[in-house]
């Protein structure tokens, strides 16, 4: 199932996308799903498939990226947060903040939490995951190097494109992940290169903070991160999930 969040006739709905038709979900997709009619894909706008939830991200979680940076393999996941005000819809513009000298893309596989959980055991993880989506962990790299904390570098409005939907039926541990800048392949890896598996990440995070329906966990980026400029088009593509496209602008 492809779960979408849509704008239709100035109202926001959750839906189930199949063959260019969106079946509109009553309420939200986190419990039992019931429908209330349908609408054609070309009559709606796709929104980031997330409400105002928390966004937890893993840093340095691909072997190829650790190698590229010449860094040791961490013995525990490195995690950080982005504010929900940074969420950006598919096909919208990442705003290049004035004063930032280097703006980078980071293609990532993200998962969406289905139900409230705390201290989740690795064996139980699948009960807590609704599905998977693409995320671009946009980063002001110069500020990340300058500040001790990553908060400023990761948190500008529009720095968290998510979408285009939540895919509920894939095996996340064997997927190809790619990033294209202006159509040119810049990142290409597989989730088999994860340092910490999705189950290990979710369990680890749930021992720090309670997870709620709609929370996002992003699983880190592979090798090949690089710079974006105003006028660029950036796309995150994940096998079996889809392609998330955004643009870079100055306003």
| Least distance (Å) between residue 34 CB and Mg ion | 36
When CB distances to Mg ion are compared, the closest residue is 137
Please identify, among the stretches 10-18, 125-133, 217-225, 232-240, the one whose residues bind Mg ion according to the rule CB under 5 A. Answer: 217-225
Q: How far is the CB of 59 from Mg ion (least distance, A)?
A: 6
Q: Which of 2, 30, 111, 137 binds Mg ion (CB under 5 A)?
A: 137
Work out the angle at residue 124's Cα, subtended by the Cα atoms of residues 122 and 126, and round it to the nearest 5 degrees.
Answer: 100
Distance CA 240, CA 83 (A): 27
Phi/psi region, residue 37 (left: phi>0; alpha: psi -120 to 50; beta: rest), is left
Q: Are 218 and 109 a contacting pair, CB within 8 Å?
A: yes
Binding string, 142-171, against Mg ion, x = CB under 5 A? ------------------------------
221 belongs to the binding site for Mg ion (CB under 5 A):
yes
Quote helix, strand, coil % in the chain, to nearest 5: 20, 45, 40
Number of amino acids touching Mg ion (CB under 5 A): 3
Q: Which of 54, 37, 142, 55 is CA-nearest to residue 99?
A: 142
In the complex, what is the shortest distance from the CB of residue 241 to Mg ion, in angstroms, rounded to a whole number? 17
- Minimum separation from the CB atom of position 179 to Mg ion (A): 11
Binding mask 177-216 for Mg ion (x = CB under 5 A): ----------------------------------------
Q: Which tokens sit at 35?
A: 């429908």
99-112: string of b/e by CB count within 10 Å (b at 16+)?
A: ebebbbbbbbbbbb
> Could you tell me which of 18, 20, 16 has the C-alpha nearest to residue 3?
16
| 235 lines the binding site for Mg ion (CB under 5 A) | no
> Per rule CB under 5 A, is residue 104 in the interface with Mg ion?
no
List 16, 56, 88, 106, residue binding Mg ion (CB under 5 A): 106
Selection from 55, 128, 107, 122 nearest residue 239 by Cα: 107
Q: Tell me which stretch binds Mg ion (CB under 5 A): 90-98, 115-123, 134-142, 186-194.
A: 134-142
**Which residues here bind Mg ion, judged by CB under 5 A?**
106, 137, 221
């Amino acid at each position: 199932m492809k779960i979408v969040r849509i704008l239709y006739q100035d109202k926001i709905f959750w839906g189930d996308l199949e063959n260019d038709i969106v079946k509109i979900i009553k309420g939200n997709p986190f419990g039992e799903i019931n429908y209330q009619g349908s609408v054609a894909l070309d009559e709606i706008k796709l929104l980031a498939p997330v409400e105002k939830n928390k966004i937890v991200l893993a840093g340095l979680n691909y072997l190829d990226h650790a190698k590229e940076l010449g860094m040791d393999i961490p013995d525990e996941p490195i995690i950080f947060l982005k504010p929900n005000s940074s969420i950006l819809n598919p096909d919208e513009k990442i705003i290049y903040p004035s004063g930032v000298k280097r703006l980078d893309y980071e293609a990532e596989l993200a998962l969406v939490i289905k139900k409230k959980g705390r201290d989740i055991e690795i064996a139980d993880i699948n009960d807590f995951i609704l599905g998977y989506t693409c995320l671009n962990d946009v980063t002001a790299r110069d500020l990340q190097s300058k500040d001790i904390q990553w908060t400023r570098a990761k948190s500008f409005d529009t720095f968290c494109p998510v979408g285009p939907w939540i895919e509920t039926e894939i095996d996340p541990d064997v997927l190809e992940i790619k990033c294209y800048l202006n159509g040119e392949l810049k990142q290409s890896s597989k989730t088999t290169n994860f340092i910490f598996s999705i189950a290990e990440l979710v369990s680890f995070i749930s021992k720090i903070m309670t997870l709620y329906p709609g929370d996002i966990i992003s699983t880190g980026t592979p090798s090949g991160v690089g710079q974006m400029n105003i006028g660029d088009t950036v796309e995150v593509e994940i096998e079996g999930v889809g392609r998330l496209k955004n643009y870079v602008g100055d306003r």
